[in-house]
Every structure is written in C-alpha cells, then in structure tokens.
Amino acid sequence: MIPVILSGGSGTRLWPYSRAQYPKQFLPLTSESTMLQETALRLDGLESVSPPWVICNEDHRFMVAEQLRVCERPAAGIILEPVGRNTAPAIALAALAIQAKGDDSVMLVLPADHAIQKLPQFHQSIRIAVAQAEAGALVTFGVVPTAPETGYGYIQRSSAVANDLGEVYQVMQFVEKPNAEVAERYISTGDYYWNSGMFVFKPSRYLEELEKFNPEMLACCREAFEQASHDLDFTRIDAEIFGRCPEDSIDYAVMEKTDRAVVVPLAAEWSDLGSWSALWDVSSKDKHGNSLKGDVLTYETSNCYVQADGKLIATVGVEDLVIVDTDDAIMVASKAHVQDVKAIVGELKSQGRSEATSHRKVYRPWGYYDSIDFGDRFQVKRIVVRPGAELSLQLHHHRAEHWVVVSGTALVVNGEKEIMLTENQSTYIPIGQKHQLKNPGSIPLELIEVQSGSYLGEDDIVRFKDLYGRA
C-alpha cells in the first residue's frame, strides 16, 4: 500500500496560528508532532506500507521534507503543484508518479490535516478498504456521525457489499453541507456518513475512471507530469501546462459519477480540525471545560479555548470564547462564530497586510528567521541556522547587513574573504557585495542581523549558488 498525503491546504479558519505560508498541517495542534507528522505516523502498525508520496505547493516543499525527516518517515517523493487545482488533478499526479515507477499498488489518499484518535479502528477500516480496492472498487471512508454537523458534506449509502472483513456499502450519493434541519434528518435515517475526504484505490483504476469522466483533466495532468523536472526529492510539475488543467474535487470529477464507488464506515474519533471549535472538541480540558495552552490564567472562565504564545493571557468572567495569541496578532472570537475567521483573513488580504499569509517567524530550508523590529530604513532579524546548513551565495542591491553571532559558529563568505565567527563576533556586508552564511558546527547557529538601506524587501536577493534549487 502506498500512502499519498495531500498537503496543499491553507488553513485560513485557524488564523492567526495557521497562515498561508505556514498552514495548519505543519503545526502541532493535537500533540508535539505536527499534523503532517501525525498523518505519517498513524500508519505504523499496518502491513506492507511503503514510504509516502506527498503533494504540496512550492512554498512548502522544504517544510514537508524536513518534518518527515525529523519523524523518520521520509517521503518516497514530493510532487510540487505550481498552482492549486483541487484534489482530482493532485491525486492524478500521484497516480501517474506511482505508475512511472512501474507500480500499481493500492493508493491510500490522506489529507495532511486530519485528527484521528482511535488508531485500531482506523487501521481495520483501511484493511477493509484495501481488500475492496484490490478487487477494483474506488473506496471512500464515511465517518459515522456523532452529531448533525453542518460543516461537513455527507455520503448516503445504499446496499451492503458482501465481504468477510467488515461493513462496506455501495454509494448512493454525495451531498453538500446541509443546514441544521437537513442534517438532523440525515442522522435519524442511519444511512448517512460524514465525507472524510480519504480514499483507497489502485492508480490504474482511478486514472481509468478519470479518463472516462474528465479526459481533458487527465490529458493535462499526464502532459504536465511528462514535462516535469526533478531535483533533490522534488518533482516540479510543468506550470504552463498544469495551469490549463480543469479545477475540480475528486468527489465531483470521479466519485459521484463512477458506478464502482463504495463506502467503508469509520468510527475512529475523526475530525478535520476545520475550525477553532473543532480543535476545542478534540483537546483535553480542565474541570470547567477550558482547553488552555501556554501561559494562561483563568478566573470564572468556562468552555473556552485559550492559546498563548509568549505572552500571559488572563481571562475573567468569560465563556465560550476562542482566544489565540501569536507574535504579531491576537484573535478573540465567540466559539459560535469561529467559521467566520476567514472573513478577517479576507479583509487582511484586501488591505495587503502580511499577517494574512505569513508569521513574524519565517521558516526556510536552512532554519528560520524572526523579524524582531523594523522601521523606514532598517530591519532587525534573529536568524537561526541548523547544523550543517547554509544560506545561498547572494547579494543585495539596496541594503547592507551587519551580522552579530549570539551562539554557535558561523563560516562567512564576505566578498573575497572567508572568515570564521564565534560568539560576540561580527561582520559588516556592504550593499552589492556577495556573501554567504554557513553553520559548520554541531549546534544551531544564532545571530542578529541588522539591515539598513532604501529597500528591505525579501525580493532584493540575487542568488548565485544555492543548495535548495533557488538560484
């Protein structure tokens, strides 16, 4: 079985913690592991599981590779979508990549941002689904509903499919997110499941059905994949060709139209963590129903989700609130209105504000930087470089930089000179001078960078040599 992890979401409903440049699948929401890591790790215990393929966008490629490396589940390959075209084309690219390796083993398609609490039940549902997929079915998982949820789509089952492992049903129909009254009716019949967005099928079967129902989509995906380039562990899909690909979900493009769709019930305490209230649902709580993370003090507070990141949060006499603090934003919302957080993100985007897309702390393949302070002609960053990592050989046309080592050892290229700096030592890099920063040591390198100049944007970088394919 070959896992295929879809990691292309933006997670705007979990703003300000989740942002476009660092969305929820890369965050530790339910444990010390990130959601992507949890997705890979929860396959432990299943039989004959290959390393996963991951599909993500260009900006997230190094986070995917690094997080899977850290949890010792490196990817078989990472497919980079130049633009998002929804799940049907993304899964087609994965199927084509697997076939290109001469394999037609069953694919297990998993979004990277789900929470599943009961792994034995999850594993058993997968075993049932794999047996059906081996026989040629296109399988989806229907989450046994615990409430008349209006935030999920539903799957209606029809007749049972004979098998020896557990419940399987033919799919009657997929239905959109209902209102509360309709959701109540769905639950009362016992014939409806929440649509999980997880699937099992052979690559060949999926591509056959996609060609039958959307040949233009498959043709674009096939041509874009054939013209892809490869570097490191990344498969870079041709942008111009893939940009012409029709955009559609796998539900609309294939699953609603095929006569080979079956649904396996899943009762494993599943959630897609699509809102702050959903995260509160799956989080541990105190005796007053509060889920508290970080430095938080409460008095006469109940049924709240409070997350502090660096600052003390104190609450007095409140209930049913979500309060989230980050380096550069604080959000306070009623739990009943957390789905509307995306409206704030939309307003931030319309104003061109960086808080919509990126955190103050920005991750790079070599480590990260944190923008500590800035003004009209200066910016101060705290830079942390992983052991053995290096930044690109580069220059800037509009800014000079002054580096001060706080801890660790820095190997610096500054023009024609190569120098070694240790704690409390510094170097100055004039405008237009080639320079590079490396960490040759065995501990993280931390330094303070002071930039000064007429323009301090991140696009004022000319790269000459880069380990990470950005030159």
363: pLDDT strictly greater than 90? no
Q: What is the mean pLDDT of residues 344-371?
A: 91
Closest CA to 461 of 382, 383, 368, 392: 392
Closest CA to 49 of 137, 123, 133, 128: 123
Chain Cα centroid distance, residue 169: 31
Share above pLDDT 70 across residues of the chain, in percent, rounded to a whole number? 100
Residues 250-265 have pLDDT tens digits of 999 999 999 999 999 9
The pLDDT value given to residue 257: 96
Cut 0.85: pTM above it:
yes
The one-letter amino acid code at 233 reads D
Cα–Cα dist 89/231, whole Å: 22
Residues 385-397 have pLDDT tens digits of 999 999 999 999 9
Residues 163-191 have pLDDT tens digits of 888 999 999 999 999 999 999 999 999 99
Q: What is the mean pLDDT of residues 287-308?
A: 98
DSSP code, position 378: E
232: pLDDT strictly greater than 80? no
The pLDDT value given to residue 10: 79
Contact (Cβ atoms closer than 8 angstroms) between residue 423 and residue 407: yes
The pLDDT value given to residue 360: 86
Task: Please name each of the domains of the chain with its CATH number.
Answer: 2-271 (3.90.550.10), 285-342 (no CATH), 361-465 (2.60.120.10)
Residues 92-137 have pLDDT tens digits of 999 999 999 999 999 999 999 999 999 999 999 999 999 999 999 9
Q: Quick one: 200 exposed, middle or buried, by C-beta within 10 A (0-12, 13-18, 19+)?
A: buried
Give 277's pLDDT tier (boundaries 50, 70, 90). Answer: very high
Sheet order of strands, 435-438 included? 417-421, 410-414, 435-438, 393-395, 462-465
Number of Cβ within 10 Å of residue 239's Cβ equals 14
* DSSP run (H or E) holding 66: helix 61-70
58: pLDDT strictly greater than 90? no
Q: What is the mean pLDDT of the chain?
A: 95
Q: What one-character-per-residue DSSP string does 303-371 give?
A: S-EEE-SSS-EEEES-BSEEEEE-SS-EEEEEGGGGGGHHHHHHHHHHTT-GGGT--SEEEETTEEEEE
Q: What is the mean pLDDT of residues 316-329?
A: 96
Contact (Cβ atoms closer than 8 angstroms) between residue 355 and residue 329: yes
151: pLDDT strictly greater than 90? no
431: pLDDT strictly greater than 80? yes
DSSP code, position 19: B
Q: What is the mean pLDDT of residues 318-328?
A: 96
Greater confidence (398 vs 360) lies with: 398
Contact (Cβ atoms closer than 8 angstroms) between residue 196 and residue 139: no
